[in-house]
Structure 1
């Protein structure tokens, strides 16, 4: 977070490296970056709604009051696309993000072989899940099915993968930063749905990080498809340590891209 000259309004910039679809910010990373203004490890859940594809590599203005909510705006726009995102503290839904709890790291590692994005991916350079990103230049979260669908439209499908955060994701103390943790909660939820046949982008996410992951340790990241409603897909996601303890969880809404 930087300060803009002149009026002193706080800003944040999404570096080009942290893209989702080419040319716009990764949804989870962007939402986590804004959420750091409202929460921290062990703090309350935050809901962030994305209103337009987040622009990269230029300062965006943070407006509002943490007590009532924040708005992320693009000072270079004068139209409806000026509003990039909105955030406020929230409560997670009562339902579990991933029903049935975690799988083992070995099961999650095996599931990576079933990741559909390895064969076809609408956003192959996505920071969180893109297979076109080289080792060390993306999270490379390749979540494959571990519990097949039990309902229509793939409802109930649960996916998993492993994640070993490297040192550049940390805050200097060994803890993974909040934006990187939100980025990890992002795409595995999306891949519980048919992302290949129905490309979607993150529209809204409510997440809470009870305990930050640590660099160099292996975690299980899971996603679960809750329902499909028109262009909207509702998912849950969670991060577990190697002993199955829950560290962070999220519920998200995805919006299918119009073709």
Structure 2
């Protein structure tokens, strides 16, 4: 089958938003009660407005249900069912008003590498992008952002909402990083027009790898979705930003 990333869902102006693209591909993965989540590994920048092919991953030793997204001869991303991110260390949500206040400390307001980003771009119009503003909590290392979804909330939008806050919590401000791998489990979709909170936190680092966790909560405190991601710090002078770069 074919899959297209419309230009509206960009990260950098020329390539797809990593979270939205990953969520779009994740729809093609068959999950089970034992494997309720999906892991997506981005390999190259997802092109915009160009049909790509989704196919089963060839070769032996491949996880059942694994698929890959192919642009001509190039593998853009691979995805497979997963047990999901661990829930034992997930911080609970802060009140919506606290998340709104944290947004005033969003580092992207002063310096944003990709103002067009569908998830957190400061150059997007209301109703066109998510316009997330993840900011550090005053007495905590975690980040939080307030989100009131517009109409048409879907799985791709939830993956996009879980994506960028993790990058900012991992220290993306002032340095180039790309999203390498993202594992997400979406238990329920948010309600359009209702207040929600996205929490983000660091899970450690090793060399150029930076690990993040994110969680989406409803106003009543229910955990709707959760993700873990691996971000890779890169040299912006030698590496073209990937589709999930922020």
Aligned pair 1:232/2:223, yes or no?
no
Q: CA deviation at 1:94?
A: 2.8
TM-score normalized by structure 2?
A: 0.88
Q: Determine which of 14, 27, 31 is the counterpart of 1:36.
A: 27
SS across alignment from 2:188: coil
User: Residue 90 and residue 217 in structure 1: after superposition, are their counterparts in 2 closer, same or farther (change >3 A)?
Assistant: same
Contact kept, 8 Å, 1:44 with 1:91, in 2: the verdict is yes
Deviations 1:58-115 (A, max 9, x none): 001001079430010002xx4xxx00000000012435463x3110101101100010
Q: Does 1:73 align with 2:70?
A: yes
Indicate conservation of the 8 Å contact 1:54/1:84, yes or no. Answer: yes
Aligned partner of 1:84 among 67, 76, 90: 76
Correspondence for 1:219 among 182, 196, 203: 196
2:13 to 10, 22, 44: 22
Structure 1 runs of 4+ off > 6 angstroms? none
CA RMSD of aligned residues (A): 2.0
State whether residues 166 and 213 of structure 2, in contact with CA within 8 Å, keep that contact through their aligned partners in structure 1: yes
Q: Unpaired segments of 5 or more residues in structure 1?
A: 1-9, 150-156, 171-175
When normalised by structure 1's length, the TM-score is 0.84
The answer to whether the 8 Å contact 1:232/1:255 transfers is: yes
> 2:113 aligns to what?
122
Matched, 1:59 2:51: yes
Unaligned runs of 5+ in 2: 58-62, 237-246
Q: Are 2:235 and 1:258 equivalent residues in the alignment?
A: yes
The aligned runs of 1:169-248 (5 Å cut-off) are: 170=152, 176-248=153-225
Number of residue pairs matched? 230
Asked if structure 1 preserves the Cα contact closer than 8 Å seen for 2:36 and 2:84, the reply is no
